[in-house]
Copies of this chain bind each other. A is one copy, B any other.
Amino acid sequence: MSEFGELLRSLRKQHKITQRQLAALVGIDFTYISKIESGTMDPPAEDKIIRIAEVLQVEPEQLILKAKKVPATFHKLITENSDVPLFLRKASKLSPSQWEEIKEILQREEEGDAE
């Protein structure tokens, strides 16, 4: 039941490359890839996951989450913006309908004063 490993293997195969090729592109040892795919070993550190995601052309974040890790971007957000923890504290108790409302709000593109 190695979520991450299975996904990795499937993505790699979609790209028709071998473990050795992927490993070379990513800059890690190919035996490590093998163990990760088989679930023998935990997913690698975030920076490696990101490089894998780039090579395999998927959203790094998606892969990081599959690895059951919290992306560094989230980490920063959580520890720096106090509203976020406020939200997370309640998030587990939100009803589907409340989630809907929140998604509505997220949809609305407001003045992008980001960056």
0/1 per residue, A75-115, Cβ < 8 Å to B? Answer: 10111010111111111111101110111011010111110
**Contact between chains at A65 and B79 (CB < 8 Å):** yes
Residues on B with C-beta less than 8 A from A105 are 94, 98, 101-102
The stretch from A22-30, A46-54, A66-74 touching chain B is A66-74
**Contact between chains at B85 and A65 (CB < 8 Å):** yes
Instruction: Other than A74-B78, A77-B92, give 17 A-B pairs with Cβ distance below 8 A.
Output: A65-B79, A69-B79, A70-B70, A70-B74, A70-B75, A74-B85, A77-B88, A78-B88, A81-B92, A83-B91, A84-B88, A87-B91, A93-B110, A94-B105, A94-B106, A95-B110, A101-B105
Chain A interface (Cβ within 8 Å of chain B)? Answer: 61, 65, 68-70, 74-75, 77-79, 81, 83-95, 97-99, 101-103, 105-106, 108, 110-114
